[in-house]
A and B are shown apart, each in its own frame.
Chain A
Amino acid sequence: MEQKTKIAAEDGKQDLVITREFDLPLDLLFRAYTDLEIVEEWMTSKVVKLENKKGGSYQLEKKDDKGNVVFAAGGVIHEFIPERKITRTFEMANAPAGVQLEIYQFERLTDDTSKLRMHVIYESAAQRDQVMQWGFTQGINMAHDRLQAAAGQAAHRRPR
């Protein structure tokens, strides 16, 4: 069976392309990225701020039971074209991943299917490889858990 999610990462380059075809109409796919409550649901983080406009910014945060911030990330939106394109920066606090530039392109395939193309550009090739290697043990998605486990240390830090 062909894989729905594809990763193209040429060696020695500082970017990668993630593509995915969804069994969702374009408007619903776009909504998943722009509706605050829906983003909260799939990111399993609190969306502190989400300004869907050029020059706007967004902020995600996850706290443990004691109220310590265990995951914080955010960035600035540079381009916002409804149901077509979002260009934004992404930076995770307390993680040595630097700032990455993310270009999301949303495309209608049929009435019921759509496609997302994410072009992610990192500060360096080494940094991109580092982020990809995190996939071995946790990945960004599970970074929450990693930070949760290290909550003792995290409690003493503040997100940037």
Chain B
Amino acid sequence: MSDTAAIEAEGLVKHYGKTRALNGLDLTVARGTVYGLLGPNGAGKTTAVRVLATLLRADGGQARVLGHDVATQAGAVRRVIGLTGQYAALDEYLTGRSNLVMIGELSRLTGRAARRRADELLEQFDLTDAADRAVKTYSGGMRRRLDLAASLIGHPGVLFLDEPTTGLDPSARALMWDIVRQLVADGTTLLLTTQYLDEADQLADRIAVIDGGRVIAEGMPAELKASMGGQRLLITLTEGSDASAAAAALRPFTTRPVIPNEWDRLIEVPVTATDGLATEVVRAMDAAGVKVNDIAVRSASLDDVFLTLTGHKAEENEKTEVTA
């Protein structure tokens, strides 16, 4: 085992009855990096985090966090991790400050150290003004910030963020992203789960795409995008154009089958970008007698990666949502 890895997991398996939530999950996260676990609801992201954070015992495989085995050295793991789950895990009736002090004391800080850390974190997360108000008066964004602050009180070396921005409005989300970037600058290793592709793209140094309880693709965001054929060609035809003629004319430009779509005037195909590609496509369309309103070549997004790998879009598949 390498000394540089903050998190190492090999062949993790977890069943819930007949459901295999984890099905041989492998993961290596280097120290001081942000690692994104990307997948739809039900893919096994939260189960993976719960196993790594010692909340669940895996049925098979093994995992280490900063060198400590999550099954046999759970206590040692808990001393070096922080966890922020999908729901703000706070006492609604306590003030923000009391919550932080409580979590600090339970993280084995003395009362004095816990109060000092609470003050620091309240200031850092811009919560000083609300510090002495009950948490139930907080907005969603403030709760998430306080929740994140709580998971940092013991200076964890590894922080697990399980869907940290789900349900937040765009400005609260941007603020969370800033905070996350700041944490990384401080050297904390971060394992982040998300179903938002842009979030993984923005924050993560490496990404594992998870589906059906195992990793189906892994790499830097740019690598993943490049592996999907790089570019996409988008063409919008004029009203009444012959879509099948357009599809036939496009066949020389792509390796994938082009399926004409009679009722949709937008055609999208993966292409390999070459100099003058757009010009040649327009000429081919003209030769086929097809009129074009708009043409664009864009890089593949993580959405495309996801769709290609899993056969479904990242944000569908809501039916396996939490069954509390």
A and B held together in a complex: no
